[in-house]
Structure 1
Amino acid sequence: MKRVLAFDVYGTLIDTHGVVEELSRRLGDGAEEFSRRWRDKQLEYAFRRGLMGAFADFSQCTREALEFVDRATGSRLSETDKERLMATYARLPAFDDVAPALERMAEARLTRVAFSNGSRTAVEGLLRQAGILERFDDLVSVEEIKRFKPDPAVYAYLHNRLESSPHETWLVSSNPFDVIGAKHAGLRAVWVRRSAEAPFDPWGDEPDLTVSSLDELAERLS
């Protein structure tokens, strides 16, 4: 494997369901389902905006998705509740395997880049509060070209920005749509299968490598 690794942020490095605890205070047993639907709708809104050519900050997709799921579930969250949930989303935790795996990769002199649909400001803040910002060599945000993954232009921008060939650029993501998008654009890709029950989309574009954690990835790269 080559030495340029581009890590997806939301869902791969950062646990997007870290908001469940805050949701539980308001929704009780319905918190996990609300969190899942919020994440699904957030991605759907980004995809739809990408197709429409109507780019907006990823945080806007997140807020609009929160509003939709609140209406769809009849949860009747207050505006204060929604602001607190959005604030929680800005300080979500990193998965436990992230920091030690990144440290091992740094010791192996692998180039490590955070690559996200989120804005640069939002992602910097998120990684900083999680204590892992300094473990990256660079940060690439889609806002720089105002398109969303899995648009092929986003992956082309990534490897051009890194001055690496597609074949030398490895996307590392827990999101199958991201892995397939990278493969379609000619990049190499690692799927981090964080749940043993998670299926991969049956499109025929399989990841070059599948791991259950970033620890496993670091071990295989050592």
Structure 2
Amino acid sequence: MASANGFAAYVFDAYGTLFDVHAAVRRHASVVGPNGQLLSEIWRAKQLEYSWVRSLMGAYCDFWQLTEQALDFAIEAVPDIDPKHRDTLLEAYWKLDCYEEVPTVLKALKDRGAKLAILSNGSPAMLESAVRNAALDSILDDVFSVDELQTFKTSPSVYDLVTTAYRLYPDAVSFQSSNRWDIAGAQKFGFRTVWINRASNPDEYRDYSPDVVLPNLQQL
């Protein structure tokens, strides 16, 4: 059944879209030191790079392992970061803050009668922890992880997890992500795409442009 504005399902990327990937370092900024933001940016960049490289290699390991490996690289790469903070930062990543508008927006969409789901590179355990910590478990209908496919976005098979589970055509699904590359993959698959451009980044992948660009989820 379609919601009021014609989409049967609203599907969200998790990290960077619903959950703030920089919250782990920010929470411990006082002990990490002045290079904390640089550490966090490298950590995130390497986490994604490792997922793409492993997909191309056909050498899958779950997103938590990539998160650990990416942090190890970032700690070595950034001056003045004490390795003793490694375990503290990893522990914080299990309980990332969700963005302020997320609960209200999801509840409003739920009230319209749409299915609500996460589609993420995250491992099932990571996603379960993040969703529970943000108290979104009573709002979401499903959490889809790439783990069952043993590959990462932007493989079309990942986006097909949603259409297969819900028995929908792609154009009945509105897909929201803060990651422009993810939006490109979802657009090619056939989803209606909404790029949540929180950082006001320049556009790219212009042959697979998003249907909508928003600064956050509030206007969804």
The SS at the match of 1:114 is: strand
Matched, 1:70 2:75: yes
Q: Any idea what the Cα deviations from partners look like across 1:93-133, whole Å, max 9, x if unmatched?
A: 00000000011111111111111101122101111011112
Cα 1:18–1:128 shift into 2, 3 Å: same
Which structure: greater helix fraction? 1
The aligned counterpart of 2:36 is 31
The SS at the match of 1:6 is: strand
Shift >6 Å, 4+ stretches:
none
TM-score normalised by structure 1 residue count: 0.92
Cα 1:34–1:23 shift into 2, 3 Å: farther
Aligned length in residues: 215
The aligned counterpart of 2:218 is 215
**Counterpart code for 1:120:** P
Instruction: Determine which of 142, 147, 157 is the counterpart of 2:146.
Output: 142
TM-score normalised by structure 2 residue count: 0.92
The aligned counterpart of 1:112 is 116
Structure 2 segments unaligned to the other structure (5+ residues) = 1-5
Say if 2:38 and 2:78, in contact at 8 Å, map to a contact too.
no
Give, in angstroms, the shift of residue 160 of structure 1. 1.0
Say if 2:184 and 2:205, in contact at 8 Å, map to a contact too.
no
The aligned counterpart of 2:3 is none
Q: CA RMSD in A?
A: 1.4
Say if 2:154 and 2:185, in contact at 8 Å, map to a contact too.
yes
The aligned counterpart of 1:151 is 155
Structure 1 segments unaligned to the other structure (5+ residues) = 218-222
Moved more, 168-177 or 153-162: 153-162
Distance 1:71 1:128 in 2: 32
The aligned counterpart of 1:132 is 136
Say if 2:35 and 2:78, in contact at 8 Å, map to a contact too.
no
The aligned counterpart of 1:220 is none
Say if 2:176 and 2:183, in contact at 8 Å, map to a contact too.
yes
Give, in angstroms, the shift of residue 10 of structure 1. 0.3
Q: Any idea what the Cα deviations from partners look like across 1:146-199, whole Å, max 9, x if unmatched?
A: 11011111112221122111111221111101100111122221111112x312
The aligned counterpart of 2:47 is 42
- State the identity as a percent: 33
The aligned counterpart of 1:102 is 106
